[in-house]
């Protein structure tokens, strides 16, 4: 029996619609989802949602996190401000694979105004299906903390 993976999702108003698509995709594939908000496209501040997702991952309530804003930049910075969390802003599947394989990123950041839904789903699948390679990368990741 496979372990159920929990993914924390968070977005500001610019990322709300894409977050909802990602949530649908994950639940259809039997992932457990923690929706950290926002829950509408009303204007909100991205740092709150980036931090909330990062805290869920750091506490172990979620094994992975996904944060979304207009460009992905602000919310990735917000998530990375939580010590021990590695959020990677990815614009293609290769970046997502490398973020996991070489950097052991636990949080994927996406820009809703940068990538379309189809590409975002491909990036998410790559992120979730790639394991950390360990080896020479363990020492490098440890230096980040």
Q: What is the pTM of this model?
A: 0.96
Question: What proportion of the chain, given as a percentage, has pLDDT over 70?
Answer: 99
Backbone angles phi, psi at 73, to 5 degrees: -70, -55
Instruction: Give the DSSP per-residue string, 6-23.
Output: EEEEEE-GGGHHHHHHHH
Does 32 score more than 60 pLDDT?
yes
The answer to whether residue 69 is catalytic is yes
Contact of 107 with 64, CB cutoff 8 Å: yes
Cα radius of gyration (the chain) = 14
Task: Indicate which residue of 13, 36, 69, 90 is catalytic.
Answer: 69
The confidence score (pLDDT) of residue 26 equals: 98
Q: CB-based contacts of 134: which residues, under 8 Å, 6+ apart?
A: none
The answer to whether residue 102 is catalytic is yes
The fold for domain 6-144 equals: Ribose 5-phosphate Isomerase B; Chain: A, (3.40.1400)
């Amino acid at each position: 029996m496979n372990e159920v993976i929990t993914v924390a999702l968070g977005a500001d108003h610019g990322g709300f619609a894409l977050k909802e698509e990602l949530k649908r995709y994950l639940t259809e594939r039997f992932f457990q989802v923690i929706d950290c908000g926002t829950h509408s496209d009303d204007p909100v501040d991205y740092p709150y949602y980036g931090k909330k997702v990062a805290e869920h991952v750091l506490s172990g309530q979620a094994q992975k996190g996904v944060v979304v804003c207009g460009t992905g930049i602000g919310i990735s910075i917000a998530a990375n401000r939580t010590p021990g969390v590695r959020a990677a802003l990815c614009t293609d599947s290769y970046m997502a694979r490398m973020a996991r394989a070489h950097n052991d990123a636990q949080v994927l950041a996406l820009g809703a105004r940068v990538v379309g839904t189809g590409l975002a789903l491909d990036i998410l699948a790559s992120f979730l299906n790639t394991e950390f390679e360990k080896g020479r990368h363990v020492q490098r990741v440890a230096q980040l903390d």
